[in-house]
Amino acid sequence: MKRIAILGAESSGKSTLCEALARRHGTVWVPEYLREFVDTMGRVPFEEDQFGIARTQRAREDAAAVLARDFLFCDTTPLMTALYSRVYWGRVDAQLTELARTHDYALTLVAATDTPWTPDGLQRESEEVRDMVHRMVLTELQERGIPFLLVKGDLPQRILQVENALAAL
């Protein structure tokens, strides 16, 4: 079983892509825990929530891995939580930094920002923030030497790009 990370800024189609890929491959996917956190708490996270959010995301990956067939599609990773910590608080605590360092996925996909931006209650800020975070994701992956595939276009185009990458694994 191979874990596939799907990263990207807000409103870039990560969840839609994850769900579609999981359905296509007859496997499970790991939704973004932050969405559940915001819905449950009725607020955006505070700085001190960030490590717990990332830890829960990773724990859910580990639990889903037992049920996965061939691939486990992960809608975000602790790396994204660390990037958002930098965006909103200008720093990343040591525990979150360490957890984000363990980016051990067979394939990393980045969802392009070529989909329409749509507001989503408390969780999404603006198209400008989305574009800034997208640039940060690309820079972070390049600086860490993590290979990635930038997926673009509508959902069928993205799926085709991912299928080609999965076939090459």
Please report which confidence band the pLDDT of residue 128 belongs to, taking 50, 70 and 90 as the band edges: confident
Pick the CATH number of 2-167 from 3.40.50.300, 3.20.20.80, 2.150.10.10, 3.40.1190.20: 3.40.50.300
CB 85 within 8 A of CB 50: yes
pLDDT digits (tens, 9 = 90+) for 62-109: 999 999 999 999 999 999 999 999 998 999 999 999 999 988 899 999
Distance of alpha carbon 54 from alpha carbon 129, whole angstroms: 20
pLDDT digits (tens, 9 = 90+) for 9-37: 888 889 999 999 999 999 999 999 998 99
Q: In a 10 Å sphere around its CB, with 0-12 CB exposed, 13-18 middle and 19+ buried, how is residue 102 labelled?
A: exposed
CB 72 within 8 A of CB 4: yes
pTM (two decimals): 0.92
Distance of alpha carbon 90 from alpha carbon 106, whole angstroms: 30
Length of the chain counted residue by residue:
169
Domain ranges within the chain, ordered by starting residue: 2-167
Query: Using CA of residue 89, residue 94, residue 96, residue 98, what is the dihedral sign?
Result: positive
Indicate if the pLDDT at residue 39 is higher than 80. Answer: yes
Q: What are the two backbone dihedrals, phi and then psi, of residue 130, each rounded to the nearest 5 degrees?
A: -55, -45
Please report which confidence band the pLDDT of residue 124 belongs to, taking 50, 70 and 90 as the band edges: low
Q: Among residues 136, 43, 89, which one has the least CA distance to residue 128? A: 136
Please, what is the Cα angle at 78 between 86 and 162, to 5 degrees?
A: 115
